[in-house]
Structure 1
Amino acid sequence: MTDWIGDTFTSDAGWDHLESLVDIDHRMAGSDGERAGLELTRDALSDAGARDARIEEFEIQGWERGDSEIRRDEEVVASGQNACIALPRSPSGEATGEFVDLGYGVPEDFDDDLTGKVVMVSSDTPDSVDRFIHRREKYYHAVEAGAAAFVFANHVEGTLPPTGSVGTADAPIGDIPAVGVSKETGASLARRREGEDLTVAVNCETPDATSGNAVADLGPDTDEYLVVSCHVDAHDLAEGAMDNGAGTATIVEVANALAAREEELDTRVRFVGFGAEEVGLVGSSQFAAGVDPDHVKAVVNVDSNVFGRTLKLDHHGFDPLEAAGERVSDRFDHPIALGEEQVPHSDHWPFVERGIPGYMVSGETEGRGRGWGHTGADTLDKLESRNLREQAILLTALVVDLAGDDVSTARKPTDEIASALEQEGKATGMKITGDWPF
């Protein structure tokens, strides 16, 4: 039966949900906007036919943006939405020191004594390094090297300062003031201000806050279940259309498609729209800590898709997940990119680090970095409804495949996960950011 394919390809459910999400003022973790997004997602899953739709609340460290700037004495050299913004969970305060441009900010760039200095690094990673170096790793290298403040410069043109959180699970507010600056501002600072004393000033509030996870079920009431997930929160600078309105809209569309095929499911499907992903995978970590790993057959986590036509399934070396992706790609004669490396970011990771089979589902990109993600340019106009519908079709087929009684998955020993991270060069960064659980 293929009627569901036509129904999904002509459905407006996912795209309408995406429009509703981006029309919220913002969905920063712990904000009223995030709560509104969670409620919309809960209701959309219920309207699709999922049962017991609810929001499971949890407390988080809140963070509310104020003004930020970079000064030379009393002269402001960078400020405003298109030049300089605070990184979420930066502490409030000011720090002054000699300004040093460290270029890419690869680990060896921090070997010199940086005590008391204001350091700037690029959001890019050079091709000579065989792994992506995350913002938080660069931040904590700067902290360990004694830096007084951290400046994160976008490598993408267009006066777009990048956002992205700092802090760790144990210490949610970072150690030193941190700001993001546009590529153009960073280039000007590097050319004109190297060696000068600059002040980085961040004004923010850090109240206690409440987030939550939107949860609902489809399919038979089996003890074993699949988790189909996304994160609902987004940074407060933009619409959060790609990251991750797109992923949230996609699982809503998948829920509608699966509701029409519910009798084909041999395994329960639990949809989860996680809160507080952008500030440290808080919602998914809370959720994963409460599951029995033996009851989770697999995790299909959708984050930052739709902007391109080709889905990417990072399967973390779980052979049954790789095989399922290949089957779906072959069945629909549609390209699906498969990756086997560990991806220790997004909401699949709290499951995968426990050995639970999991995908990171995203859109295939050229080069490294987020492009216009994590900037004010993450807006709806860059996405196409056709891509959302096509990807929802592929993911619906993938979930039905994985839910079959004839498909078995198995957990991996956590030492295998740790070994893979070591071999891929990712362990060092995870240890410095406090994300190493092994």
Structure 2
Amino acid sequence: MRFLVQKFGGTSLVTQELRDLVVGRIFAAADEGFAPVVVVSAIGRAGEPYATDTLINFALSINRDLPAREMDMLMSCGEIISGVAMVNTLQRMGRQAVLLTGAQAGIITDGNHNDARIIRVDPKNIIKHAEQGKIVVVAGFQGTSETGEITTLGRGGSDTTASALGVALNAECIDIYTDVEGIMTADPRIVEDARILDTVTYNEICQLAHEGAKVIHPRAVEIAMQKNIPIRVRSTFTDAPGTLVTSHHEVYGTIDITRDRVASGVTHIAGVTQLKIHVKDLTVEDPALRIFRALALADISIDFINVSPELIMLTVKDEVAQKAVAVLENLGIYPMVRSNCAKVSTVGAGMTGVPGVMARIVQALTEEGVEILQSSDSHTTIWVLVEKVNMNKAIRALHRKFELGHSCKTQS
């Protein structure tokens, strides 16, 4: 069978009118000869009656110490509700359909409640129903542990469900339907001429997602990449082709001029605090080891790490900065603290081995009077830390410098 996995976000399922539109996408796939496997998220967003956050807030209004096991049982309900609505809509339109929970779909996870990892997928139940001519709807975001406990996959978990099923079924493609038309070169609320990318590589979208782009969860991309199964990020509401995520930039009829592009997008994470420690001023032994071990034991996630014999720099989220400083001060280490920063990332598979990329970044920011507080790089990404007040200016300057906008694309 030719499987196509279609994942629909909660904003695509809020009303019956929207669900009818979703059914049109499913029928179109079936008419093309695919056996659609439909993954659904919980309906709506916080405040709407069946949204996951609404269910959580209801439970916490009774007692804020709800155990993680019971929290998973509660959070799994939102996707089941939307799945029932989806199956009922399909049947109303004359198609046989069946809803499977994560457990019934064969998604086996570890026992880490609220943020479980998928261990394996046994798709035999999905295949059985598909062979009977039914459209299979799977509740996203959930699975079952080896001991039969309900587990959830963390934020963005329905994307992860879709990719795991795509790999297990050897699907021809995984379609992620959302409320945007694809992956953009920057946040359009910041950059007016940001445009939809036709294609990105797995590595590029992983970096974009890790560094602030929220269209798809990076874990989902990493899973699909294992079997080189293409992902398409598309809009439920328009017929736009969306963005194709694959191992290389595809060619569509004409020569793909994006093959030699240095950067694919500029993204950002706000709400960052920089901690700077001058090693020569310390009297403690093995300061780097003591610093990183203490922060790890305090369960504080750190980012943007630079270590040298003279200086240690790292960043934490603003909301845990006070805790991080207290941990370090308990060791007799008093960091310089700079809050209200932002991490701005320039991402592109084409920058690997290309000289002068950092020079262009420095030039772009210098021309706008934006001070670089810290920087780092990988094969596909260069990060800079700036003051949050300069974040939007930095994003626009880098987007313009690497000619990522509509007007630059047209001129190319």
TM-score, normalised by the number of residues in structure 1:
0.27
TM-score, normalised by the number of residues in structure 2:
0.29
More helix by share: 2
Q: Highest relative contact order (Cα 8 Å, sep 6+), 1 or 2?
A: 1
